[in-house]
Structure 1
Amino acid sequence: MFAAIFNIGWAATQVSHMAMVNCISLNSTSRVALTSSRNAFTMVANLGLYAIALVVFGVIKAGSKEDTETQYRWIAYSSITIGCCFVVIFLMGTKEPRLRIDLKETSRARIPWVYWFRKILYYQVAMVYLLTRLVLNVSQAYLAFFVIDDLQMDQSAKALVPAIIYICSFVVSVLLQEIPWNGKRLKAYYTAGGIIWIFCGAAILLLPRDISSFMYAISVFIGIANALMMVTAISMQSVLVGAEVGGCAFVCGSLSFLDKMSCGLALYVLQSHQTTSPRGQLNNNQQSVYLSVTRYGLGLVPALCSFVGVAVTFFMELEAAGSLSKPLLREPLLE
């Protein structure tokens, strides 16, 4: 029940926040910069959670199962409290913006759902966003298990490896804000991120335990690829929306619904084979590589999704959509 309530609140927050980007500005580069900033602060929030956990683990020592439960309970309480404080600051401290430029009434009017279903670009963007979320969510779900169970690294690695990924994603997200964007660059940067993830997936599948320290280097490239793919995939939604901001909520909401359903289904299928799948073993110069479901979930699934995402992106006609080939406005839509 708690998980269901949490996801309802998370979906409402995520969709409205993603749609807000398209309402703030119609300028293509500004929209990508806002998306990059959003992704960067997401990484800051993830790192902040690690900082909270570090403080809690230092204050409360885990000597029993009850102590461990207390630790994670305080981590949850602290993160929820801090998050609620920022929500209150945003709602109470942010002045309600108003339109600086009079748009056509058709741009602000509510657009029927059927309108988007007639666009080929909608299905292409939906596929790319869905695959990108699969890459990020499935890999995050299996990362800690792979590091501890498959590679048998130190317990600290299950915190250090994700931290490296978040830091690299933060740096790349900040750098992406300084680039003037067009359709070709969106496709090129997404393709670059996808190719990096394909190589990372192959490295994860073949990584033996005795050189498990290479996982730290792989995590650097995973962080870079995550930022490149996530920022550009969300920015493609802005290309789809264009100046028709009346439909941005439906676009963001429908794509978010698809990504949550697909991620849940993918994790369910993988977990259903967790205990029944045989654990293959490959011997190469007395080195063992165990092909577990965890390794498939972290290496094979993201790599395949990245490959398909890159293929779909190749056939996109973002320039024809008109949103990035020529900026719609040179000034913000709101003030």
Structure 2
Amino acid sequence: MRSSTVFDILVPIRVIQSNIGCFRMLGYGVGHFYNDLCASMWFTYLMIFLERVMYFKASAAGFLMLVGQITDAISTPIVGMASDSSKLPVCLKRLGRRVSWHLIGTVCVTLSFPFIFNKGLLNSKINKLWQIGWYVPFIMLFQFGWASVQISHLALIPELSEDSSRRSSLGSLRYNFTVLANLFVFLGLSALLNRDDSGGGITAADSTHFSIASIGVVVIGLITSILFYATTKEPTDGRRLSRLNSASTSPELAKMSWTNWFSHLQFYKVSFLYMFSRLFINVSQVYFPFYITLTASFSKKYIAVLPMISCISSFLVASLVSAPRINRLLGNKILYLFGCLFGISNCAAMYFNQTMVSIICISILIGVAQTVVLVSVLAITADLINRNTESGAFVYGVMSFMDKLANGITYQLIELLNPHLYIGLRLPSESVSANCAVFYRCVMSFVPGACIGLAFLVLITLSRETVGARTCRVRTEPGEIHI
């Protein structure tokens, strides 16, 4: 393995605009809104829906989450390579390689997501194994579609602009819409749950609320996706070489095929940074509702209210860090360092008993930490790709593969260690043991804390490196210039 490689290839690449207007930036930002709506329900409510509404055992709920994450993990590099290859049906080629896969993913999500938070034909008399089998194909189709949208949308960032601060702004704008999507879900579900809140936890009686919320997600998601297709034009192909980076004075850079990335040590470092960042964010999101109702002993309406507070703080912070001036002043690594500090502080605070004031403060801190970590790691990833957009989707695919696989395995391990494995016995919420409350306290403190700590160690190894800098040599033809 080596940190830099010499290549000798002349290739056609896309013509990238150095600047992108505000209208097109907004159009890009809304392109992941549908995915974000679905992800908000998937990560925040799937486990509690399966355990408290469907009365699945914790191990079964963890298995379904694992199936989804493995499907997503396998799909992401495959979609990434397919997107980079530009092999598309004739009817989709006019849209471009990224937007086409975005459309394919949107169709898959629409056909599957409404069935995940819906009992459908299921009832209590059907064997639990058959009930689990009912969900598997819908979860797999949903995760393939979700991965297709995610990878194609991420891969558009380095294609739409070559300026590092502008790319960071696109990532921040994308996250702003993620926050708005979460806010929409939490507001809607809060209104539904508050209608019959008797001070208890989630039960089978709340099934209708989740079904209505999932249908609303699909309707709003389709509208925003149409807006994305109407406002986002993918850059066209041009016959020239990629350029080294946005700060380089040289106009040339050799091609990076998907196999070339594996010879760069920096590729592995950023991949692990991305994986640990996503683990920190997703584990916190998945188990926060359990922490709220079982550890902190708040009523079911707070599984929407407190995440909504996190969303508001996320939106405010994302608006701040999205400013190009902030990015140029601090840089993505310093921003990520601040995210680590906020994240570790939050994990430490969650270990202690909570009052209403303290849980609100924790919710705010979660939003701040998750925003800064995600925005900065996406910007670091875009810097790694630099102007080698010909294989950008593959890079995002590999990183997402590691992220999803690690998440799925982590959820399953947590559920296998869950002291309340036999939720399928339909025990009332009052009989939940003190061990279960302690369990979720430890999960929310130690698992995300370990992830952000490991991410910090990876960041240290990148501190003296220029992310995305690669030494290369281009074979010249008559009239061309060597780098």
Aligned to 1:48: 184
Contact 1:208 1:289 in 2 (8 A): no
- Structure 1 segments, 4+ long, off by >4 Å, are 54-58, 60-63, 99-103, 105-110, 288-291
Q: Give the Cα–Cα distance (whole angstroms) in 1 for the partners of residues 399 and 267 of structure 2.
A: 9
Mapping 1:177-192, distance limit 5 Å? 177-180=322-325, 181=327, 185-192=331-338
CA distance change for structure 1 residues 89 and 290 in 2, over 3 Å: closer, same or farther?
A: closer
2:104 is the counterpart of 1:104: no
Between the two proteins, the alignment pairs up a number of residues equal to 309
Aligned to 1:94: 231
Which deviations, in whole Å up to 9, do the C-alpha atoms of 1:268-320 show, x marking residues without a partner? 1111000279xxxxxxxxxx998733122211111111111111101105753
CA distance change for structure 1 residues 150 and 225 in 2, over 3 Å: closer, same or farther?
A: same
Q: Give the Cα–Cα distance (whole angstroms) in 2 for the partners of residues 255 and 267 of structure 1.
A: 18
Please, which of 339, 342, 346 is the counterpart of residue 193 of structure 1?
339
Please, which of 455, 465, 468 is the counterpart of residue 309 of structure 1?
455
2:299 is the counterpart of 1:150: no
Aligned to 1:84: 222
Q: What 5-or-longer segments of structure 1 have no aligned partner?
A: 278-287, 324-335
2:160 is the counterpart of 1:24: yes
CA distance change for structure 1 residues 195 and 300 in 2, over 3 Å: closer, same or farther?
A: same
Q: Give the Cα–Cα distance (whole angstroms) in 2 for the partners of residues 223 and 62 of structure 1.
A: 26
2:319 is the counterpart of 1:163: no
Aligned to 1:284: none
Bigger radius of gyration among the two: 2
Contact 2:242 2:388 in 1 (8 A): no
Aligned to 1:329: none
Question: Structure 1 length as normaliser, TM-score?
Answer: 0.83
Aligned to 1:203: 349
Q: Give the Cα–Cα distance (whole angstroms) in 2 for the partners of residues 319 and 26 of structure 1.
A: 20
Contact 1:135 1:305 in 2 (8 A): yes
Q: Give the Cα–Cα distance (whole angstroms) in 2 for the partners of residues 35 and 223 of structure 1.
A: 16
User: Secondary structure of the equivalent of 2:153?
Assistant: helix
Q: Tell me the amino acid that sits aligned with residue 204 of structure 1.
A: M
Shift of 1:110: 6.8
The alignment's C-alpha RMSD in Å is 3.0
Using CA pairs below 8 Å that are at least 6 residues apart, which structure has the higher relative contact order?
A: 1
CA distance change for structure 1 residues 247 and 136 in 2, over 3 Å: closer, same or farther?
A: same
User: Secondary structure of the equivalent of 2:462?
Assistant: coil
Q: Give the Cα–Cα distance (whole angstroms) in 2 for the partners of residues 66 and 163 of structure 1.
A: 23
Q: Tell me the amino acid that sits aligned with residue 394 of structure 2.
A: F
Q: Give the Cα–Cα distance (whole angstroms) in 2 for the partners of residues 110 and 231 of structure 1.
A: 27
Contact 1:165 1:222 in 2 (8 A): yes
Q: Give the Cα–Cα distance (whole angstroms) in 1 for the partners of residues 179 and 273 of structure 2.
A: 21
Q: Give the Cα–Cα distance (whole angstroms) in 1 for the partners of residues 366 and 442 of structure 2.
A: 16
CA distance change for structure 1 residues 155 and 102 in 2, over 3 Å: closer, same or farther?
A: same
Q: Give the Cα–Cα distance (whole angstroms) in 1 for the partners of residues 285 and 420 of structure 2.
A: 22
Q: Tell me the amino acid that sits aligned with residue 82 of structure 1.
A: I
Question: Structure 2 length as normaliser, TM-score?
Answer: 0.59
Q: Give the Cα–Cα distance (whole angstroms) in 2 for the partners of residues 120 and 50 of structure 1.
A: 40
CA distance change for structure 1 residues 220 and 57 in 2, over 3 Å: closer, same or farther?
A: closer
Aligned to 1:265: 409
Q: Give the Cα–Cα distance (whole angstroms) in 2 for the partners of residues 109 and 6 of structure 1.
A: 37
CA distance change for structure 1 residues 260 and 141 in 2, over 3 Å: closer, same or farther?
A: same
User: Secondary structure of the equivalent of 1:309?
Assistant: helix
2:173 is the counterpart of 1:37: yes
Q: Give the Cα–Cα distance (whole angstroms) in 1 for the partners of residues 197 and 302 of structure 2.
A: 19
CA distance change for structure 1 residues 55 and 221 in 2, over 3 Å: closer, same or farther?
A: closer
Shift of 1:213: 3.6
The sequence identity of aligned pairs, in percent, is: 25
Shift of 1:183: 10
Q: Give the Cα–Cα distance (whole angstroms) in 2 for the partners of residues 189 and 248 of structure 1.
A: 23
Q: Give the Cα–Cα distance (whole angstroms) in 1 for the partners of residues 344 and 260 of structure 2.
A: 35
Q: Tell me the amino acid that sits aligned with residue 241 of structure 2.
A: K
Please, which of 202, 212, 237 is the counterpart of residue 74 of structure 1?
212
Aligned to 1:330: none
Which deviations, in whole Å up to 9, do the C-alpha atoms of 1:254-275 show, x marking residues without a partner? 1111111100100111110002
Which deviations, in whole Å up to 9, do the C-alpha atoms of 1:5-30 show, x marking residues without a partner? 11111110011111111110010000
Q: Give the Cα–Cα distance (whole angstroms) in 2 for the partners of residues 109 and 69 of structure 1.
A: 55
Please, which of 231, 234, 237 is the counterpart of residue 375 of structure 2?
231
CA distance change for structure 1 residues 62 and 313 in 2, over 3 Å: closer, same or farther?
A: closer
